[in-house]
Amino acid sequence: MASSTETSIVWLRDDLRLDDNPALSEAAALGMPLTVVYILDEDSEGVRPLGGATKWWLHHSLASLAGALEAKGSSLLLRRGPAEEIIRELAAETNARHLFWNRRYGQPERTVDAAVKAWATESGLQASSYQANLLFEPWTVRTGAGGPYKVFTPFWRACLAGADIRDPLQVPGTLPAPPKRTGTVQAGDTLDGWELLPSAPDWSGGLAAVWDPGEDGARRRLEDFLDGPAEEYGTGRNIPGVEGTSRLSPHLRFGEVSPFRVWRQIRRRYPNKVPADVGIFRSELGWREFCWHLLYTNPDLATRNYRPDFDRFEWEKPGKDELEAWQQGRTGYPFVDAGMRQLWQTGWMHNRVRMAAASFLVKNLLTDWRVGETWFWDTLVDADAASNPANWQWVAGSGADASPYYRIFNPVTQSKKFDAAGTYLRHFIPELADLDGKAIHEPWKSGVELAEYPRPLVDLPESRERALEAYQKLRDS
């Protein structure tokens, strides 16, 4: 027999926070016994399974969320399986009458949510959904002709023109306790039982040293950024050897901080005029919005060229050795290698280096961008269903508002310009730490015999020419 008391359910997904969580706040206000559930859904059609680094993050984020819920008199129920089925079962077990969630924007997730909503309506449950994770929902921003935007600048201008960005909601004071166990409410899974953490080998030490997943960690990152480098973001964001950016990306990815909260904190500090550098930072949040806008209208952004003419591009299948050299940071180009090692060790890579490392794979090695996108998906703690493919396609030239194909990042020039003293290179490539001055940017020219560091995998001018020829062939075909 199901519980006789009517209850409600909050289904948390990419919104692992108590602050500015409309679904949670609305459910709390209702005052009914409340089940807060997270479902690990690896079964619903099309839902992209998490990579290794995001699994690690999710484990710690859920642990942190569970603690925060308990401190408010609630708890976090964990279930695994196809979400629609789990929600139906849970609603029956708990005699739920209300169901709350914050909206998601990927196609497979929207399909699941629509099915749950249809079932809820038929079954007499009230299902309510909210805007929480994007400042501008993709369908609300339209060109004059009524279509989606394809270029960032007019997109962001249109967003801001009508901008009425709401204030974030406060953390609910207390939360209703979960329904009493009557014998029908099944116990949840244990987090450890999900085995999200790596073992044999446990490669997560470098991640743990750098990151603090969860809402507290997110709040600290935001405050540290605004107290620190924000007003010099315009230049600082290009220097990988300093902490010139916010490092909020994994926190935003898992919804541990809401973009409305970030926006509000900036407005609070600068009520009259936002300094230019902070404005540049805000427009980076705009790029996040733009990527989701693109994914919403192009659901297969991770597998299909946004520009269909690129379907004819003649990629080369990378040799196993070449690909491993790129993945492991052994291409012989220090800027690329430092980035790939930063990614492997910490689950994150500086944006400037992401662009250079991606360009090297796609252009100098003529490798299909999807190969790199897949590697990033597995290794980034901020691996995001929209931003990752959109940025890979941007680098490849196949994307929306993309970098032109002929713009081929030169890793040596980038390195000399953005890491002139070699601080970043020395940190991630200890084999090069003793090279003097500028020699570190081109170690093969140093005259020093380096037993531990490889010679360049490809010749830069030659591979650049090859890439340009391949692109010309595409244009001519």
Active site residues: 284, 287, 315, 351, 369, 392
The two three-digit tokens of residue 261, written as one number: 């909260």
Q: Which is nearer to ligand FAD, 97 or 363 (CB)?
A: 363
Please list, in sequence order, all residues whose beta carbon lies within 8 angstroms of the beta carbon of residue 25, skipping any fewer than 6 positions away. Answer: 169, 172
Minimum distance of ligand FAD from residue 428's CB (angstroms):
16
Q: Which is nearer to ligand FAD, 82 or 299 (CB)?
A: 299
Minimum distance of ligand FAD from residue 306's CB (angstroms):
14
Task: List the interface residues with ligand FAD, window 347-386 (CB under 6 A).
Answer: 351, 354-355, 358, 376, 380, 382-384
Q: Which is nearer to ligand FAD, 72 or 261 (CB)?
A: 261
- 300 HSE (CA, 13 A, CB side): 5
Minimum distance of ligand FAD from residue 350's CB (angstroms):
6
Minimum distance of ligand FAD from residue 223's CB (angstroms):
14
Minimum distance of ligand FAD from residue 204's CB (angstroms):
18
Minimum distance of ligand FAD from residue 390's CB (angstroms):
7
* Closest among 168, 130, 170, 169 to 260, alpha carbons compared: 168
Q: Which is nearer to ligand FAD, 95 or 133 (CB)?
A: 133
Kindly write out the interface string for residues 266-295 of this chain, putting x where it contacts ligand FAD by CB under 6 A and - elsewhere: ------------------xx-xx--x----
Interacting residue with ligand FAD among 169, 196, 248, 278 (CB under 6 A): 248
> Is residue 245 a contact point for ligand FAD (CB under 6 A)?
yes
- Under DSSP, the state recorded for 308 is G
Interacting residue with ligand FAD among 367, 387, 398, 403 (CB under 6 A): 387
∠166-170-173 over CA atoms, to 5°? 155
Mark the segment that binds ligand FAD (CB under 6 A) among 239-247, 271-279, 330-338, 444-452: 239-247
| CA separation for the pair 22, 28 (Å, rounded) | 10
| CA separation for the pair 64, 380 (Å, rounded) | 20
The two three-digit tokens of residue 299, written as one number: 């659901």
> Is residue 249 a contact point for ligand FAD (CB under 6 A)?
yes
Minimum distance of ligand FAD from residue 392's CB (angstroms):
5
Q: Which is nearer to ligand FAD, 83 or 257 (CB)?
A: 257
Residues 234-253: b if buried by 16+ CB within 10 A, e if exposed = eebbbbbbbebbbbbbbbbb
> Is residue 56 a contact point for ligand FAD (CB under 6 A)?
no
| CA separation for the pair 259, 168 (Å, rounded) | 9
Task: List the interface residues with ligand FAD, window 87-126 (CB under 6 A).
Answer: none
Counting residues that bind ligand FAD (by CB under 6 A) gives 27
Strand-by-strand arrangement of the 7-12 sheet:
76-80, 34-40, 7-12, 96-102, 126-130
Q: Which is nearer to ligand FAD, 135 or 358 (CB)?
A: 358
Q: Which is nearer to ligand FAD, 178 or 229 (CB)?
A: 229
| CA separation for the pair 288, 282 (Å, rounded) | 10
Q: Backbone phi, then psi, for 80, in 5-degree steps?
A: -125, 140
CB 174 within 8 Å of CB 73? yes
Answer positive or negative: Cα dihedral of 270, 261, 27, 180: negative
- C-alpha 378: how far from its chain's center? 12
> Is residue 414 a contact point for ligand FAD (CB under 6 A)?
no
The DSSP string of 354-396 is HHHHHHIIIIIS---HHHHHHHHHHH-TT--TTHHHHHHHHHH
> Is residue 395 a contact point for ligand FAD (CB under 6 A)?
yes
Binding site for ligand FAD (CB under 6 A): 237, 245-249, 252-253, 284-285, 287-288, 291, 351, 354-355, 358, 376, 380, 382-384, 387-388, 391-392, 395
